[in-house]
Amino acid sequence: MELNFWKMEGLGNDFIMLDDRDESIVNRIPYSDLAIRLCDRHFSIGGDGIILARQSLTHDIRFVIINSDGTEPQMCGNGMRCFAKFLYEKGILVKEEMTVETLAGTVIPKVILDRAGRVTTVRVDMGPPELVPANIPFVCDRERALEEIVETHEGAVSVTCVSMGNPHAVIFVDDLEQVNVKKIGRAVECHDRFPEKTNVEFIRVISGNELEMRVWERGAGITLACGTGACASLVAAHLTARTGRQAVIHLAGGDLDILWDEKTNHIFKTGPACLAFGGRVTI
C-alpha cells in the first residue's frame, strides 16, 4: 500500500500528516504500528508523531495523533496548527475557521492567510485549562496543584499541574542550561502521582510577559516545542504570580504567543506551521 504524506513542523515539533477519511489506512495497519514505523528517523521519514484526518459526525473533521512510540495522546498544540494548514492547503477543508474533534474535546483553529491564500500562521482556541488535580490527572489533596513537591529518584521538584486536554507538570527554574531535561523529565513523566503520565515543562521567567521553555513530552522525549505545554506554562506562571495573562513563550524551535482570555477562560495560541516536504511511502 502506498500513502501520500506531508511532512510538517511547528517550531521544530515535526509530524507526518495523513488523510484517512476513507479509513483505508486503519483497515490495513494499526495506527500505533504505523507511527513507530514511519517516525523512525534512521530508516523511514522520521517525526515526533503521525497525525491523521478522519471523518467526524459532530465536527468539521476529526484529529488523531499517535506519538513516535505508538501511544495516543489526547491533543497536541503544535500538531493542531500543522493540521489546520494541511487541511486548508490540501483542499480537505477549505474554511478559515474550523471545528476539530479531538480526544481532549473541541478545538477551533483559525488559519491566517497571506495575499496568495497561503497559510502563514494559525491561531488556535485551545479551550479552558483544567486545574482540578483529579481531572488532570494528578494525585493531590488540594484544590489546585500549585508548586506541589514531588519526590523522584532524581530529587525533589516543585510542580504546578495543568491539563490542556493532556497533563502537564510545569517546573520553574533559574537557569535552563543547568537542568538535565532528560533525566528529570523522564522521572516526573512516569511518577506514580501522574496516573496517565505527564508532559514536563521547564520554565525560566524572563519578565512579566516573556518566558523561556524546554520540554520533555510524554511518549516522545525531548522535543523542540510543545504547544499545549506552552499554554499550560502560561497558566502556571500566571497562577503563581510570575506573569500576566499574555506572554511570548520562547521554545527551542521558535516563539509562540499565548493569551489566557479572562472573559472566556479560553487559551488562545498563535504561531507558525510549515511544510517541510511531501511524498509517497510504501507500507
190 in catalytic set: no
Catalytic residue among 82, 140, 161, 226: 226
With the CA atoms of 126, 273, 60 and 15 taken in that order, what torsion angle do they form, in degrees rounded to the nearest 10?
-100
State the Cα–Cα distance between residues 19 and 17, nearest whole angstrom.
7
76 in catalytic set: yes
Q: Which residue has the cell 521538584?
A: 157
Q: 181 to each of 186, 200, 222, how far by Cα in Å?
A: 8, 9, 7
Q: Which of 250, 279, 270 is nearest to 120 (CA)?
A: 270
State the Cα–Cα distance between residues 9 and 204, nearest whole angstrom.
24
Catalytic residue among 39, 76, 140, 161: 76
Q: Are strands 199-207 and 167-172 parallel, antiparallel or unpaired?
A: parallel
Active site residues: 76, 226
